[in-house]
Structure 1
Amino acid sequence: MSFDPNVKLGVLGGGQLGRMMIQSAIDFNLEIKSMDPDPNAPCKSIAHEFINGDIKDYDQVMAFGLTCDLITVEIENVNIEALEELQRVGKKVYPQPHVLKTIKDKGIQKKFYVDNGIPTSEFELTSSVSDIHSLTHLLPGVHKLRTDGYDGRGVQVIKSKDDISKGFDRPALIERFVDYEREISVIVARNKSGNMATYPVVELEYHPEANLVEFLFSPSDLSEDIQEKASELAKKTISALDMVGLLAVEMFVTKKGNLVVNECAPRTHNSGHHSIEGNITSQFEQHLRAILDLPLGKTDVIGASVMINLLGEEGYTGVAQYEGLDEALNIDGLHVHLYGKKLTKPFRKMGHITLVGNDLSALKSLARSVKETIKIKA
């Protein structure tokens, strides 16, 4: 079987994940067509063809997909009905529409875990804030919108009855807060042939206010037993989904050493950005390998690495200016990835930095210094 680089790959979503996917696709000489509602999306300047369109609109997604050989996504919030029809008429769609339908709605996603024996926190579905009053046995808990939440949005911690008014008056779920020791992620890839490959466990540290990843540490220093169980749990999840592509499985490690799946993302993910420099095969190349049904790449760690999300500073909205970046570039093993976003706003993901070296402890200290050095203002 020979590799055909003349496959036109359509990517729904034109953000930074799509941008980094295109950067990997260039190495395979693939033609990439991207669609995004933002006329200045990060993919605009590097896609072979860019369409400014609504990825949630049935007709626009159909028209886009019919011009492509293979359709993939960089965000779940797309028109799934159109993808189902594209699949029916013979277009390849990976991840498959049934996977997106399961994961897009956090309520359906949680039910999927329960139905497939995948450990997750206790939860109940809600339709309004008032529903939480009858579910106080789940407090302290987390109230999550079933759809449209991302990057910390659509998530509200409800510590006690006094916080119930902070919840959402939309379809959501309330889940019991997990008494965890660490938050980890395992990225797993699966191709059409059913071959799988997992990346080594990474540990995540979240911003206390924005509720999105601030630092990522690789490799984890958890016991081999826990890491092996996490890897197997990720494989179990992608197999139960019968998914082709890349799946990021975010988990909690409880204080008793148990694993609890928090959420999954059926695409490349923030918890895999370090793999560009830190692993033999980047998550973006691996995603392409998986959906093209090519042999999956080795995922071994090349060196210890720390990823730092570069977020817009609080109090600044406008054309982005990067303070301290020139100073940071003097550091050996530091790699910068800016996402092509001209405008900054508080906590907007503007880029990331990866530090690679031999001593993870030293890299962690250095990363915190770098975080304080680089400020994105307007």
Structure 2
Amino acid sequence: MIPALVERQAETEQRTFYALDTHEAFRKAGFYRILVPRRYGGYEFGADTFMRVAVALTRGCPSTGWMYTLGAAHALAVATIFPERAQDEVFAAGDFIAPSTIMPSGTAERAEGGWVINGTWGYCSGSPYATHFVGHTLVAAGDGAPPEPMAFIAPRSVWRRLDDWGGQLGLRGSGSHSITIENGWIPDHFTIPGHLSQFSVADGTPGLRLHGNPQYGGGPLSFMNLESAVLAVGIAKGALDAYEHLMRTRTTLFPPVVGRVHDTDYQYWYGEATGMIATAETAVLGAIGQWRDACAAGPDAFTTELEMRLAGISRQSVQLCWHAVEGHLLPTAGSSSVRHGERLERTWRDLSMLHTHAGFAVFLAAKAQRELTKAHFDVADDGLAG
């Protein structure tokens, strides 16, 4: 599939999401069932399988890989956290595509047997072919306390996608449109109190009890953070592919004029970037292995320190990919290779866009490090600034 994804990058950006025939190819290949439990016709493959598919697709087309990954990945969170009744319904068709957003938005009013929800949620990557939406809203806590987040699953029938994506710097074809809900009724069993990223698995999970597979008892937060690193590795590998093509087809800019592959400077730049990207990929795969081992060890293994340590690995992996592309590949490729629409130019834009994602730019870039340190030294959150 990769050559076709590379060839259709511009078309995907113009459309703002990957084509219907690409979606059908993914569906027939079973990509939307990788993390869905076998109980519902899914493959129940491990996180490592899903992440390797994500890297491969993103290497071919960052927008396509991003849209697929952030649509299909949340099958794991839903199969882990939500009760059996909800899973019986949302996984009934087998395929599961559900974008999810970090920021709570909208309003939720109590109704008989559930909630009436109104609001608009931005950056819903994967929305064009989504079967569901996993969102967060705020609900009254009572006794004058500030409102608290509530996670919910909205079937496709209760929301619509807005045509508001494609003008951003990068990832223009990632299908990250907004989703709006107008008086959508969500039953109680499609909701859970709190935020997905803050869900504790210490006492076991509905998914672990239901499916008996340790991967449905793992920490959702660390898995979500690993997605950012995996996408960065895929994008960086695509940039390296583009640079390799230049190495094989272009000559040096100054005498002696030789093929770039024979020039010592280009040999260094390519080799340095290759090492950085390979290190990032190795770190990510190792972190996924640690996540899997923690699942097998049981709920007690998912301590805050472990979750934040995995977040730290994700952060450093993204940084390695970024420095390889912006520090070695982009500056030395030549200006003709970074014109609008060139593959290297597109991967640079897409990787730049990843840097603006709140999960990376805010959480991984700052908060995760502080939380790791506090957990390691058992320091309470005393509210002091600095």
TM tier relative to shorter chain? under 0.3
TM-score (normalised: structure 1): 0.25
TM-score (normalised: structure 2): 0.25
Rg (Cα) greater in structure = 2
